Amino acid sequence: MTDPISLTSLAIGGFSLAIQVFQGIQKGYGYFDSAAHMDEECEVLKIRLGVEYSLLLEWGDAAGLTDEKRHPDYEKTMKVNQSLIFAILGEIQSRLKRLRKLSLEDFNDAEKSQKSDVELDEGIKRVADITLGSSDPNDNVQSSLKPESARSCGTSQRGFSRESIEHVDFETYADIFKSVAIPRGKQRHHRVLNVLLAFGKGMKDIVKQPKRMKWALKDRKSIEENIQRISQLTAYLRQIVGSTQMQILLDTAQDTWMQVLQLTTTVKEMEHLLIAMQKARDHSAVQDTMRFKSGDTTLIGPLRNTNTSDRDMRQHNSLYEQLIKFSIVVAKSPGPSEGMHGVSKRLSDENLKALRQREVSDRGTRTLATYQDKKVWIEWKKYTSVAIDLGQGMTTSGPDPGVVKSVERLVALLQTKSRPAEFRAPSCLGYFLVKGKDSQFGLLYEADNSSETIHDPRSLLQRFGERAAFLRDRLRLAQDLATSLMYLHAVNWLHKGFRSASILLFPESAIDEYGKLILSGLEYARPDEIGRTSTGPPEDREWAVYCHPGYLGDYRKRGFRKTYDIYSLGIVLIEIAFWKAADDILGFTEIDGHEHQDLLEAKSQLTKHFDKTSRSDLENIRRRLLTDNPEILEHVRVTMGEHYHSAVRACIVGMEAFGLPEEVDQSDPAIAALLQQAFMSVVVDVLKSIVV
């Protein structure tokens, strides 16, 4: 039987003991984080431990263990479970020690002498290896598997370097999460990104540790058992908090996988991430009852809200598995410089006989049609004809082969079954060519759900001409659009044509007149890949109003960026607040071919109207919203509230609102992860927190 004096001592000093053990656990995880020499099997192991560590730190935040100012919260809220928490933390620490013996070993003196300071510096110049260590940028990782019971794991390197975040001020970045607009519990950066923050402050001391470790797996069965047990123990800790804190922890657990996905750079890393997530799912930590032994006493405790939290976690894990799988499909799909794989997605002449075009809508961007007795729609992508060499001195004219490959790739990706529903993207049936004076691709789309095929799509732009939507419907549209863009960017996919004419609504009933939302206008969408950011929509007047000034005219040579999509989202959110098209809000005047330019200019001066054929007027939209015409965003504030206004303004401001410098490369995995978390907190979470 446990000594009563020991129990009394535990009750009195439980908090200080918990702090000590918690810090010991952090140190224990640190050995795995900084260990060298890693192959594919070690990478999967490391990402699982990294996620568990992140979840534990989030629990520590919620419990009040990680912030000295919140220590009284721990003593107040966790007092009833103090003994149980101490027992669980103690076992986690013990399990980590066992794992360390089973998975790591010290560098011997001979190995240390062979490692120069330069080599060690190279080992830490790769940031965020908490995800999977690293892999060769070309995926040519050679595994050094050996038949021995204990083996050293092969060295690997990340695909991005220290320079990617040299210009980031991490104090500024952390400050954005303190905004009063961000919901309680999300006013901090995600723990998965702490590796980036630590790197920004300097990680050179890692290689100076006297206990420098390397990976060396020994007993795989015992390793798996210990990881499963650590996962169970961590899950139990996360269950013994209040219901509000539990929901916060559930949200952060869901975000963890998406943040880790941002930090992957190769197919192999994505595959390892998928394996790690599947293992975590297969060995779910949530059980009806769990037992923890402390000395000769068994502590038993039921999990609270098990069914709800378990179901929510499974649903979100399923979503993130789909995101990872789709990322793998995208990464494996051939780029424009590669040959096309499989059957062409171009519709045959025989197929086109079943296509009947009916009417043009949304200012010419879309044509309603019927195909094989189903209601469909066509979206158009213009191309410039070039001479194509057929060989033997013969030529023909048509679209550039590289452009054709890009269209083929887009159609293939929009046909893949692993495409997450949260993208809200339509299914593409194929494409065809229209040659002649107005040469263009026609991309044929349908809604996924058969019940929607009986309706023609109506765009959000068309709806602006109808009765204004109720506030709750407008808010739901805004939340859905921000969430869809977040998921697109999570797999590094750029939309490049985000505007109200591309947002399609399918009414599901007379009561729900807005129904399902589909994010279309994907003719120029593509993965965010190096060297493939300069092709964008033609600079027509309709598109330019939604376009960030940094991508207009000659500026587009610099390439498209995720914040340009986010800017376009901000313009659409303003439209939703006004329930009016951006043209009308911004005072743009349609050009009548019979109206003289001098008369138009005089009219503009009198009525403060603007000309969409004027480059300067288009480039000044952002400045007008932020400084020259503050009444526009003020109307958003009055109509939709302070939090909605905060999210909209962040979209228009861009990188500064997300705590990041303008000049950094947004396609870099480290920057992408930071931007993703900031957008999620500053825009998506803020919009979702609004209750009508």
> Where among 274, 302, 332 does a domain terminate?
332
Higher pLDDT, 255 or 276: 276
Q: Which of 332, 366, 394 is the last residue of a domain?
A: 332
Contact 33, 50 (CB under 8 A): yes
pLDDT of 604: 43
607-660 pLDDT per residue, tens: 445 666 677 888 899 999 999 999 999 999 999 999 999 999 999 999 999 999
Query: Do 275 and 225 reside in the same domain of the chain?
Result: yes
Q: Which of the pair, 207 or 114, is modelled with greater confidence?
A: 114
User: Are residues 645 and 497 part of one domain?
Assistant: yes
Among the three residues 332, 362, 395, which one is the final residue of a domain in this structure? 332
Tell me the β-bridge partners of 547: none
What pLDDT score does 486 carry?
93
- Flag whether 414 is in a domain: yes
**Residue 670, CB half-sphere, CA atoms under 13 Å: how many?**
28
173 and 212 fall within a common domain: yes
Q: What is the pLDDT of residue 205?
A: 39
Domain shared by 507 and 579, yes or no: yes
Query: Has residue 665 been placed in a domain?
Result: no
Residues 244 and 374 in one domain: no
Query: pLDDT grade, residue 125 (50/70/90)?
Result: very low
Same domain, 125 and 198: yes
DSSP 437: T
Q: Say how far apart CA 504 and CA 540 lie, in whole Å.
A: 20
Three-state secondary-structure class, residue 503:
strand
Average pLDDT over residues 14-34: 79
- What confidence tier does 301 reach under pLDDT thresholds 50, 70, 90? very low
Residues 305 and 357 in one domain: no
Number of compact structural domains in the chain: 2
Which domain range does residue 134 map to? Answer: 4-332
Say whether both 355 and 298 belong to one domain.
no
Residue 234 domain flag: yes
Task: Indicate whether 664 belongs to any domain.
Answer: no
**What average pLDDT does the segment 446-466 reach?**
78
On the question of pLDDT at 600 being above 80, the answer is no
pLDDT (tens digit, 9 = 90+) per residue, 156-192? 333 454 566 778 888 888 888 887 777 765 655 555 4
Residue at 672 is within a domain: no
Tell me, what's the pLDDT at 129? 36
Q: How far apart are CA 88 and CA 352, in angstroms?
A: 66
Burial (CB count <10 Å: 0-12, 13-18, 19+), residue 29: buried
Residue 263 lies in a domain: yes
**3-class secondary structure per residue, 386-439:** EEEEEECCEEEEECCHHHHHHHHHHHHHHHCCCCCHHHCCCEEEEEEEECCCCC
Residues 371 and 490 in one domain: yes
- 572 inside domain: yes
- Same structural domain for residues 372 and 504? yes
Query: Both 566 and 642 in a single domain?
Result: yes
The answer on pLDDT for 141 being more than 50 is: no
pLDDT of residue 599: 39
The residue among 518 and 302 whose pLDDT is bigger is: 518
CATH number of domain containing 517: 1.10.510.10
* Domain assignment of residue 420, yes or no: yes
Query: Looking at residue 532, what is its pLDDT?
Result: 53
Taking all residues of the chain, what is their mean pLDDT, rounded to a whole number?
75
User: Is the same domain home to 316 and 366?
Assistant: no
**β-pair type (516-519, 503-506):** antiparallel
pTM, two decimals, is 0.77
